[in-house]
Structure 1
Amino acid sequence: MLKLFSRYVSVGVINTALHWICFGVLFHFFGTTQAISNLIAFCVAVTFSFFVNAKWTFKSKATTGRYVEFVVFMGVMAALTGYIADRLHSPALITLIAFSAFSLVAGFIYSKFIVFRDAK
């Protein structure tokens, strides 16, 4: 389980970089809200994360159904995090850090026990 989580974290580092860069560009240069910035940035990063984790981390087939299942769950978390941050007037950096930490743990648990539950 530790090796599996280590692989997931490795992918997560790249995924997080993609997410943060997209979020920053959308929020600072295009003036979108944190909720929208976080959701769009997540969608970009989650696509990378899903396919790499399916093949490398969980050694499982990446299907359309699994992709939709993963993206919907994680997308709701991204939008909810951004919405809460907007309501609390949280700094964007806090939003990014909070979402990154929460999505790493929740995403791994959800992937391992729901999306890729049949993975060897």
Structure 2
Amino acid sequence: MKGFSATSVIGLADALIHWQLFFVLVTAAGLHQAPSNFAAFCVAAAFSFYVNALYTFERDTSVLLYVMFIGVMGAVSLGVGGMADAWRLPGLVTVTSFSLLNILLGWCFFRFVLFREKQV
């Protein structure tokens, strides 16, 4: 249960970082939702990766796999933000929908790819 509870708390912190940075970039910096969502994701993902590596999974991982994770989920964040820009959706819809995707896909990637159990 340690993995689930720790991942949940880290995921909540990740979402808070993502949402705050997204809204600062959209409102204060005047950026579109796509680049704001991507930048917010990158910062929040770096936090999650570091904290999960230290406290939840307690093992090293490949930098290549981490870059792959950032690439795939970064593309998803750009896609969600791009659709929101094109359809003129409110920022709250953008971060909510991406956060749900990020929780589901991110947890699966962290658990089964990035920090998978080593086969002996």
Task: Check whether TM > 0.5.
Answer: yes
| Structure 2 counterpart SS, 1:32 | coil
Partner of 2:68: 69
1:119 offset after TM fit, Å?
5.8
Q: Which amino acid aligns with 2:83?
A: I
Aligned pairs for 1:30-41 (under 5 A) are: 30-41=29-40
Which residue number corresponds to residue 14 of structure 1? 13
Unaligned runs of 5+ in 1: none
Cα distance, 1:5 vs structure 2: 2.7
Q: Relative to 1, partners in 2 of residues 1:38 and 1:74: Cα closer, same or farther, differing over 3 Å?
A: same
Contact 1:27–1:33 under 8 Å retained in 2: yes
Q: Which amino acid aligns with 2:51?
A: V
Counterpart in the other structure of 1:29? 28
Shift of 1:14: 0.8
Question: TM-score, normalization: structure 1?
Answer: 0.89
Counterparts of 1:1-120 in structure 2 under 5 Å?
2-118=1-117
SS in 1 for 2:89: coil
Counting aligned pairs with the same residue, the percent is 37
Residues in 2 aligned to 1:48 and 1:119: alpha-carbon distance in whole angstroms = 24
The count of corresponding residues between Structure 1 and Structure 2 is 119
Q: Does the 8 Å contact 2:62/2:114 carry over to 1?
A: no
Unpaired runs of 5+ residues, structure 2, are none
